[in-house]
Chains A and B, each alone.
Chain A
């Protein structure tokens, strides 16, 4: 399953709740305000690293760029994808769950 998260981990528990429901082989794509979770140095980094240790974590490039989040600021191991990558991920996984 592909999980998308569109809320900042600092204003919503969406990513944390998502983590609790992840199964092996699942992936997470951070979109919209969810991309703030991809930034290194904050207090949510440990949770994101924990997720990334067990699953692939992606972040959407246009949403990072819009918010001024440059690649040097990303947590190691997070892969950046464009809209085309988003489509591929949705196609590769049997289901998509959107955590709002």
Chain B
């Protein structure tokens, strides 16, 4: 097996209007099984994927938002959220699901997975990746 690669999945679409978000999340979970260094970025309408309080009980669609809670168990612990995209939509990090992971190097302490970055800083993160996937 080749060396670990840094892979970033960039999510730019809202959760229910198109299938990008659900398919992208499934690819992340599958990819995570191959022990790569995986991160996700939520930009533009992609940040709506992790908005709190989603409830599809009246609309005959699958609410897949709880699945984001599983990312930590798959060692996907870096979820970058772009500050400008939050600001544009009148949102703050408190409007997002409180996604966490357990840090095995720190006695399994629960830590937040969401990292808010400016567009400029996120661009630097992207530049440091080996592979980028856009959804």
Contacts and interface: CB of A to CB of B under 8 A. Distances in A.
A66 B55 contact: yes
Contacts of A69: 51
Given A11-B13, A66-B54, A66-B56, A41 B91 contact: yes
State the majority secondary structure of interface residues on B: loop
B58, B61, B63 — which one has the most chain A CB atoms within 10 A of its CB? B58
Interface size class of A (residues with CB under 8 A): 20 to 34
B45 A8 contact: yes
Interface residues of B, number: 26
B21 to A, nearest CB: 11
B90 A40 contact: yes
A66 B61 contact: yes
Contacts of B65: 68
Given A42-B88, A67-B51, A68-B51, A10 B16 contact: no
